[in-house]
Amino acid sequence: MAALQFFDEYGREDEWDRVVFDTAPTGHTLRLLGLPDVLSESLSTAAKLQGQVHQMVDSARSMVFGPAAFFRSDRDADEIETLRNRMERVAALVRDSERTDFRVVLIPETLAIEETRQLVERLRSFDISVETLVVNRVVEEVATDCGRCRARQARHEQNINRIESEFPDFSIQVVPELDGEAYGRPALEQLADEIAI
């Protein structure tokens, strides 16, 4: 829920050239992206039920208290409506291909390619634009005396060719495996130089 509020908050600001949300693995991301629609519908139902309950309570109050019964706050209804509006804005934002670009990051391994195909299908079923795949941690140069390293490099090259043939309409960005972990500003700046944002 908090992540969705950040989508809404940053999506309405003009302060940033680009806002990047690094999402969780596939299953969690799909649940997160489906949540605005589910919440919006649930909140609409809650608002209707709340209205019906208020009518019954108002009837009971008027019988007991007379005209003084109607001095109450609509704050709860306003909060539900505010949250529902926020969820509708988030749903619209993630579907707006002019403002939102979902980039799938995968490693060049068979299971990751299969998972990516399923993720792309699901994202498109949510009307979310996906045009770029980032193939991460690709082994490009290896020591010639390391047979396992050469085999891994060959497998990565073969799988990149597979990715290009199975996703022909996508922009494919290849990011080589870094010597160290991509942690901290210098490593992230090096990584940013490798990909087109």
Task: Give the chain's domain count.
Answer: 2
Judge if 54 and 129 occupy the same domain.
no
Residue 179 DSSP code: S
Query: Residue 99: its pLDDT value, please?
Result: 81
Judge if 54 and 23 occupy the same domain.
yes
Decide which of 98, 121, 154 is a domain's last residue.
Answer: 98
Judge if 185 and 109 occupy the same domain.
yes
Judge if 146 and 184 occupy the same domain.
yes
Judge if 5 and 85 occupy the same domain.
yes
Judge if 79 and 111 occupy the same domain.
no
For 140-149, give one letter per residue: b (16+ CB within 10 A) or e: eeeeeeeeee
Q: What is the spatial distance between Cα 149 and Cα 82, in angstroms, rounded to a whole number?
A: 55
Judge if 66 and 149 occupy the same domain.
no
Claim: this prediction has a pTM higher than 0.95 = no
Query: Residue 31: its pLDDT value, please?
Result: 65
Judge if 108 and 89 occupy the same domain.
no
Dihedral angle computed from the Cα positions of residues 158, 156, 173 and 121, in that order, rounded to the nearest 10 degrees: 70
Judge if 140 and 88 occupy the same domain.
no
Q: Domain of 190: which CATH number?
A: 3.40.50.300
Judge if 192 and 112 occupy the same domain.
yes
The segments of the chain whose pLDDT lies below 50 read none
Judge if 111 and 55 occupy the same domain.
no
Decide which of 42, 67, 98 is a domain's last residue.
Answer: 98
Judge if 75 and 40 occupy the same domain.
yes
**How many angstroms separate the Cα of 176 from the Cα of each of 77, 81, 91, 135?**
52, 47, 34, 8
Q: Which residue range(s) make up the domain with 156?
A: 101-197
Decide which of 98, 126, 145 is a domain's last residue.
Answer: 98
